[in-house]
Amino acid sequence: MIGMTDYHMHTVLSDGKNSHEEMIQAAIAIGLDEIGFTDHLCLKPVDWAISEVDIPVMAERIEILRERYQDKISVKFGIEVDYLEGMEEEISHAIRSLPLDYIIGSVHFIGNWNFDTDKSLYGKWTNDRLYEMYFDLIQKAASSGLFDIIGHLDIIKKFRVYPESDQTELIEKTLKVIKENNMVVELNTGGMDRPCKEFTPAPSIVERCYHHHIPMTLTSDAHRVDQIGRHFETAVDLLKSIGFEELVTFQNRERGILKI
């Protein structure tokens, strides 16, 4: 995986199992040239996101390790932020002082329900309605101006929950909003190890991203050292087969290009 990047990973500061340094060393061992840390920031009271007191600790730790390993790997400072409708100003305030390279905006909540970990409300609505509510939030996240990357675009399918009818129109509308707001979409390979057993977004949506000229970046959503760069060869093969020739990189919220 020489020359590759992995822009989505978590440490013990949120819900990961390893330290920043352990993740860096593992990434070097498999030949990555660049990685980005993206611990969770969520303005709801959850136990899987970074605590407020640890935010300056995170920033200091990344800066120290970035310098320590600069001759071996490029370390980027990212963050994965939950989009919460109606809390846009609070989210902006929470992140504006951080020296971030990029921000992943993700949707894990529909209202107060964390559908990513809590299965209890599946079945309350039709799956078509569930998809409509989820992708409406994705559209609002993309339109918010808060984020650089949309995280795991179709994660609503995580537990093999699929719509009853064809949702092509909803997906197309969502991708148009993403394009209009100049957003990047991540190809998150972590979905292969979730119940859905599929990249997020699905290959069919990756094809539509290419059609709409939506740029992509490549991520593993690693929560442990052994998940870094997982399924990347398959992902790169998919991207190339569709027509992608490059991925997006970031520094100081500015984009760069990585040829694949």
Size of the chain in residues: 260
* Amino acid code (one letter) for 107: V
Count CA atoms closer than 13 A to 236's CA, side-chain side: 16
Q: What is the DSSP letter of 74?
A: E
Q: Structural domain boundaries of the chain?
A: 4-259
* Locus of tokens 């390893």: 18
pLDDT at 185: 98
Superfamily of domain 4-259: Metal-dependent hydrolases (3.20.20.140)
Euclidean distance between CA atoms 191 and 171, whole angstroms: 18
CB 134, CB 109: distance < 8 Å: no
Q: How confident is the model at residue 1 (pLDDT cuts 50, 70, 90)?
A: low
Q: What is the pLDDT of residues 137-192, one digit of tens each?
A: 999 999 999 999 999 999 999 999 999 999 999 999 999 999 999 999 999 999 99
pTM comes to 0.96
Phi, psi of 169 (to 5 degrees): -65, -40
Q: What is the pLDDT of residues 30-67, one digit of tens each?
A: 999 999 999 999 999 999 999 888 889 999 999 999 99
Euclidean distance between CA atoms 150 and 258, whole angstroms: 19
**For residues 236, 242, 38 and 127, what is the CA-based torsion angle, rounded to 10 degrees?**
-130
